Structure 1
Amino acid sequence: MTSTDPWIHDLARVHPGDRIEVWDEHHLRHTGTVSQAAPHLGVLWVREASSGIPKLIPAEEYRLRRAPVAQAA
């Protein structure tokens, strides 16, 4: 991993309150805020930004990265 690598490889570095994006091979599937992280199980619970619905994310099935910070208008 390099300092320019945007992908999260270690779930122990993900904490409640972090904003992340969840990608499959080529498509953004979810954007939201981590509500719980269970690195020992390889899963995260993310509250969808658009709907507020919580999603269980099995990290081995997706690629994760930190969501860009939205700029105030």
Structure 2
Amino acid sequence: MTTTITPWIHDLARVRPGDPIEVWDQQHLRHAGTVSQVASHLGVLWVRETSTGLPKLVPTEGHRLRHASAAHTA
């Protein structure tokens, strides 16, 4: 069985509402969920967390983002 590592997102133009996403801070997963809105000009996005269903405003400064598989976020 092979593991595919999803590359980090460096441009919010690659992120769309409905995308499953992971938000990392250093080496720790901080948020996992579905993107609800993106404001690339402000450097922020809103993520509805899978575990709680709560929306989170995430500044991209200081965080790393990557698309997550649908199976991973379910």
TM-score range, shorter chain: 0.7 to 0.9
The 1:5–1:49 alpha-carbon spacing in structure 2 relative to 1, beyond 3 Å, is closer
Instruction: Please report the RMSD computed on the Cα atoms of aligned residues, expressed in angstroms.
Output: 1.6
Paired positions, count: 68
CA distance in 2, matches of 1:35, 1:5: 20
TM-score w.r.t. the length of structure 2 is 0.86
Q: What's the counterpart of residue 17 of structure 1?
A: 18
**Unpaired stretches in structure 1, ≥5 consecutive residues:** none
2:17 paired with 1:37: no
Q: Which runs of 4+ in 1 moved over 6 A?
A: none
2:64 paired with 1:63: yes
**Unpaired stretches in structure 2, ≥5 consecutive residues:** none
What's the % identity of the aligned pairs? 71
Superposed CA deviations along residues 13-61 of structure 1, whole A, max 9, x for unmatched, are 1010000000001000110000000000000000000000000000012
